[in-house]
Chains A and B, each alone.
Chain A
Amino acid sequence: MMNILQTRLIHWKKQGLHLLFWLLSPMIVTWLVITAGNAIQDDTKIPVGVVLKEDTELAHDLYESIHTTPFIRAYALDEREALHKLEKHELDSVFIIVEGYEEDIRHGNRNELIKAYESDVSLAYTPVSEMVMSYVQQDVGRSKAAYAVKELADTLQYRFEFNWDDLIARSKQIEKEQDLLQTTLTFLGNGFVHIDEGKNLFQPWHIWALAAFLSTLLLFDWVIKENNPAILPRFAFTRMSMKTYFVQNMLIYITLLFAVDLLTVLVFYYVFYEPISFSFIISLLSYRLMISLGAFLLALIIRQTYVFYATAFILTFVSVIASGAIIPLDGLLAKYPWIHYFNPLNAFLQGDFFHIGLGILFVILLLWYGRKEEYDATS
């Protein structure tokens, strides 16, 4: 194996940049897509001005709620500046948290807590104001619940010292602990869709899987370049057959690619906060083996590099479609689950250890390896 590694290094010496580019491209492409996606997401957020007329905890909490709402970019401004920007159409709408907001909430007053302004070109005033109202309603509801607890205690003659702040704090704690805003949706009775707030627009491993699929195919063009009919008879007079040479080189490539995959796991952990687990690593290895075996066998069939490159792009495009990245296929997949078998990314993205394709490709590899070579003196 050491000798074959040395022969590989001789080839790699000539293709250092090419190799490095395709090895790192899935990681770089993922980072670029996620960064660009987030930038686009930021740019398409609705600009909203928020004016805080009082410096209370509830007022600040309300601002924070608006600020952390997806698809809204909230600016804390003073009233004059906010209205000026609204006139210049730099803001879609302005919401003023009026003085006495917390006090009104404490006393259960639900009227005129917020003043809102829109312009003649405000596009999202109605949904944003509905949303702000829902936050206010939440605060009002919480306050009312506190008073309901007090009334209940009085009715039951339960001795307890009423403290509005403590009850509100406890209510917020319960909401946080029980994750009441986390929603799980179900489509067509199958598969759960988990809605995560504040995450990236795209899933890093989904993007990576597609980019790795293409880069692996393109990296395996070495098989076509080295599957040279003129050189074939030379291998009869060396220590190993052409097939052994190819298989051992494929193993070297898989090892190198998987090492880069592990590096990607670390990078994504620090950059995108993607979790690391042993089962994920096994799933990643399975995916790596499958796409590498597929690329290797495909390159053995195809003789011309340009045909191979074209096929690589077509297969990647088909995988993009089959993975539902462009057109949502949830309904179709629910009706025809066998489509999953044609999606090489499916097992990896579902966190499975095995895809039927890996088994099929492995059997094909064994059949190919077992078949006699042209120069094995049987003709």
Chain B
Amino acid sequence: MLQVEALHKSYGKRSILENITFTLKEGDIVGLVGENGAGKSTLLHVLATLQKPTKGKINLNGMTYHWKSFSQIRKHIGFVPQEVAIWEHLTVEENMLFFEKLSWKNKSKEELQSLCLDMKLNRWKEPVHTLSGGMKRKLNLAISLIHEPELLLLDEPTVGIDLKSKQEIAFYLKDLTAKTGMSIIYISHDMDEIMNLCDRVFCIGNDLFYYELLAQAGQEVIQL
């Protein structure tokens, strides 16, 4: 489904990603871990077409990454940014409707509400600024799923939220991949969350701390 081959990314002389190669199958949930500054977010941004690789090849469902085809590729990608990217002054319903109007796929209000309810986001009419951090994170995720992407990229989507909300999100994502075959790449610093949710884990950077930690815990882990 996703093939990454000899990917390099550097800013001037500073190399961030070096020779990254991996593949992702349909329905895979892959964790991406590493110390701060290792290049996790950069890799996610490159895969999301938000940044161009310096070298290497990426192929998503037969589409090779090239700046000319980015707009086409983006239709197949869902991206959940690290920051909560929603309109705080609008309600959950208005946020969903707003991004649905700009989305490639049209959805009814009932479908949008159902998407939220599936991840236990039930405060449909509430203004976002009154919601808890967990609810906001769920809405942040729900908006990224409106256009039914095949590859979902999440950059620390549960940072700073309570355990219950984390579990609800994890449960929802597992259920979603099982039902739709969507593949997921998930960045987190929470090892419990990674081990509960992910089938495989990619470690990035030179520090082997995460690799050893996860390997000892019996997790399938690959150092990129």
List residues of chain A with CB under 8 Å of any chain B CB: 3-4, 6-7, 10-11, 13-14, 228, 230-240, 245, 375-379
Contact assessment for A377 and B81 in the assembled complex, using a CB-CB cutoff below 8 Å: no
A-B contact count (CB 8 A): 72
Chain A residues lying within 8 Å of B79, measured Cβ to Cβ, are 233-234, 236-237
Contact assessment for B89 and A230 in the assembled complex, using a CB-CB cutoff below 8 Å: no
* Residue in A closest to B86 when the chains form the complex, CB atoms: A231
Q: Given contacts A10-B94, A231-B86, A377-B67, is CB(A236)–CB(B74) below 8 Å? A: yes
Contact of B99 among A14, A230, A238, A375 (CB under 8 A): A238
**4 new A-B pairs (CB below 8 Å) besides A10-B90, A378-B52?**
A3-B101, A230-B84, A236-B79, A238-B104
* Residue in A closest to B11 when the chains form the complex, CB atoms: A379
Chain B residues lying within 8 Å of A7, measured Cβ to Cβ, are 98, 101-102
Contact assessment for B103 and A236 in the assembled complex, using a CB-CB cutoff below 8 Å: no
List residues of chain B with CB under 8 Å of any chain A CB: 48-52, 67, 70, 74, 77-79, 81, 83-87, 89-90, 94, 97-99, 101-104, 143-144, 147, 149
Contact assessment for A231 and B102 in the assembled complex, using a CB-CB cutoff below 8 Å: no
Chain A residues lying within 8 Å of B85, measured Cβ to Cβ, are 228, 230-234
Closest approach, in angstroms, between the C-beta of B203 and any C-beta of chain A?
25
CA distance A378 to B37 in the complex (A): 21
CA distance A336 to B156 in the complex (A): 61
Contact assessment for B78 and A237 in the assembled complex, using a CB-CB cutoff below 8 Å: yes
CA distance A233 to B154 in the complex (A): 13
Chain A residues lying within 8 Å of B103, measured Cβ to Cβ, are 238-239
Contact assessment for B81 and A234 in the assembled complex, using a CB-CB cutoff below 8 Å: yes
Contact assessment for A236 and B102 in the assembled complex, using a CB-CB cutoff below 8 Å: no
Q: Is the interface of B mostly helix, strand, loop or mixed?
A: loop
Most central of A232, A233, A235, A378 by chain B CB within 10 Å: A233
Contact assessment for A239 and B104 in the assembled complex, using a CB-CB cutoff below 8 Å: yes
Chain A residues lying within 8 Å of B51, measured Cβ to Cβ, are 377, 379
Closest approach, in angstroms, between the C-beta of B93 and any C-beta of chain A?
9
A-B residue pairs in contact (CB < 8 Å), sample of 20? A3-B101, A6-B101, A7-B101, A7-B102, A11-B90, A228-B85, A230-B84, A231-B87, A232-B85, A233-B79, A233-B85, A234-B99, A236-B49, A236-B79, A237-B74, A237-B78, A239-B104, A377-B49, A377-B51, A379-B51
Contact assessment for A379 and B48 in the assembled complex, using a CB-CB cutoff below 8 Å: no
* Residue in A closest to B46 when the chains form the complex, CB atoms: A377
Chain B residues lying within 8 Å of A376, measured Cβ to Cβ, are 70
Contact assessment for A377 and B98 in the assembled complex, using a CB-CB cutoff below 8 Å: no
Q: Given contacts A239-B102, A375-B50, A377-B49, is CB(A14)–CB(B90) below 8 Å? A: yes
Most central of B49, B86, B101 by chain A CB within 10 Å: B101
Closest approach, in angstroms, between the C-beta of B95 and any C-beta of chain A?
9
* Residue in B closest to A2 when the chains form the complex, CB atoms: B101
* Residue in B closest to A6 when the chains form the complex, CB atoms: B101
CA distance A182 to B161 in the complex (A): 78
Closest approach, in angstroms, between the C-beta of A237 and any C-beta of chain B?
5
CA distance A7 to B85 in the complex (A): 16
CA distance A240 to B103 in the complex (A): 9
CA distance A230 to B90 in the complex (A): 15
CA distance A238 to B99 in the complex (A): 8
Closest approach, in angstroms, between the C-beta of B187 and any C-beta of chain A?
14
* Residue in A closest to B83 when the chains form the complex, CB atoms: A230
Q: Given contacts A230-B81, A230-B83, A377-B67, is CB(A236)–CB(B48) below 8 Å? A: yes
